[in-house]
């Protein structure tokens, strides 16, 4: 099978498409033929050696990449009872210390998978788990209530565009930051206000909000503390600067928390249900074949992606 691996940390030039043996599932595992794999900023972070598990990865070289995928069940182990061959599935199946979804086949367990209903494409299903779970769990931690004013930074990104839709389903008012080229897209998703972060200072425009979902971190996260209303809350997602932002928030007596996404099957099933009901849309702006993985990661690192992007695997007679 084809798979993407790296044998050292570095630029996209360290990405290699290699031929590997198809993995053999254990009795509690399923073999999945991958149709699409979501591409995320964390994949680039791992490739560059900036992930918190970098030392573990270095000790395991060569390693794969990718945490989320969609596909079809090929075989199921003897004690795997939930799925049968031929079923469409998706999930966050790459363990945090073992990414492996940029590949034509993966093995995983029932608990990591959910069914994909008709009407949802392979790319949409593959792009849902990481961004969808992060958005949902961040909003839950923020305790969004009907009528809340919520500021979401980087609304046009993978997590952001899903967070906007989920906040609107919760009955709240959404303000988001994005480049002007993405404003029409964000209004279509339900955003009530869009701030051009190139030309406008969000602190002066927003003044006060009940909740902030910080998907940028660093200086943006720190300045966001200035707009959190009394008894409000800030959730910062980027782990690299979370500790710093939380420490400053504590000094100002502001409630701020970081988040570590949990690959929760119940949550993923809920999100897929919203998609099936057409209440939630995963926007996949571009797809790439596996041989163009370098271009795909370059696009992610440019910061100019809208929604999600994905690798796609073309299969015939399956």
Structure confidence by residue, pLDDT tens digits, 13-22? 999 999 999 9
Enumerate the β-bridge partners of residue 312. 36, 289
Q: Dump pLDDT digits (tens) for 234-250.
A: 999 999 999 999 999 99
What percent of the chain is predicted at pLDDT more than 70? 99
pLDDT at position 32 over 80 = yes
- The pLDDT tens digits for 148-181 are 999 999 999 999 999 999 999 999 999 999 999 9
Q: What is the pTM of this model?
A: 0.96
CB 179 within 8 A of CB 198: yes
Stretch 291-309: mean pLDDT: 97
pLDDT at 317 exceeding the cut of 80: no
Locate CATH 3.90.180.10 in the chain. 2-128+282-312
The percent of residues in the chain predicted with pLDDT above 90, rounded, is 91
pLDDT band at 316 (very low <50, low <70, confident <90, very high): low
- What is the per-residue pLDDT for 55? 82
Residue 283 has pLDDT above 50, yes or no: yes
Among 81, 63, 73, 71, residue whose Cα is nearest residue 34: 71
* Mean predicted confidence (pLDDT) in 53-75: 93
pLDDT digits (tens, 9 = 90+) for 84-118: 999 999 999 977 778 999 999 999 999 999 999 99
CA 305, distance to chain mean position in Å, is: 13
56 Cβ contact partners less than 8 Å away, ≥ 6 residues apart: 97
Q: For Cα atoms 160, 161, 163, give the angle at the middle one, nearest 5 degrees.
A: 60
d(CA 156, CA 57): 31
pLDDT band at 318 (very low <50, low <70, confident <90, very high): very low
Q: For the domain 2-128+282-312, what is the CATH code?
A: 3.90.180.10
Q: Which range is least confidently modeled, 48-52, 84-88, 304-308?
A: 48-52
Q: Considering only the top CATH level, what class is 131-258?
A: alpha beta
Exposure string over 215-253, b if 16+ CB within 10 A, otherwise e: bbbeebbbebbebbeeebbbbbbbeebbeebbeebeeee
What tokens does 204 get? 């002066």
For the chain, give every residue range classified as CATH 3.40.50.720. 131-258
């Amino acid at each position: 099978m084809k798979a993407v691996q790296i044998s050292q940390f570095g630029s996209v030039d360290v990405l290699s498409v290699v031929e590997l043996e198809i993995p053999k599932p254990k009795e509690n595992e399923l073999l999945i033929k991958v149709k699409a794999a979501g591409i995320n900023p964390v994949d680039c972070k791992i490739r560059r050696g900036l992930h918190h598990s970098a030392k573990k990865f270095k000790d395991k070289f060569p390693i794969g990449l990718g945490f989320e995928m969609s596909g079809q069940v090929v075989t199921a182990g003897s004690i795997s009872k939930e799925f049968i061959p031929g079923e469409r599935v998706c999930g966050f199946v790459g363990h945090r210390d073992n990414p492996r979804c940029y590949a034509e086949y993966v093995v995983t367990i029932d608990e990591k998978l959910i069914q994909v209903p008709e009407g949802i494409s392979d790319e949409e299903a593959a792009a849902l788990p990481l961004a969808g779970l992060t958005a949902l769990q961040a909003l839950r931690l923020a305790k969004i209530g009907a009528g809340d004013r919520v500021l979401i930074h980087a609304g046009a990104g993978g997590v952001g565009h899903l967070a906007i839709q989920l906040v609107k389903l919760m009955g709240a008012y959404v303000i988001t930051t994005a480049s002007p080229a993405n404003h029409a897209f964000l209004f279509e998703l339900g955003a009530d206000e869009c701030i051009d972060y190139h030309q406008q200072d969000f602190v002066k425009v927003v003044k006060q909000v009940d909740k902030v979902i910080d998907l940028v971190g660093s200086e943006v996260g720190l300045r966001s503390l200035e707009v959190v209303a009394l008894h409000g809350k800030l959730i910062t997602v980027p782990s690299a600067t979370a500790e710093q932002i939380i420490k400053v928030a504590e000094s100002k007596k502001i409630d701020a928390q970081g988040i570590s996404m949990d690959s929760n099957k119940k949550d993923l099933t809920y999100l897929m249900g919203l998609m099936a009901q057409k209440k939630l849309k995963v926007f996949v702006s571009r797809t790439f074949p596996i041989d163009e993985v370098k271009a795909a990661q370059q696009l992610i690192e440019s910061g100019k992606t809208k929604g999600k992007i994905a690798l796609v695997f073309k299969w015939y007679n399956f």
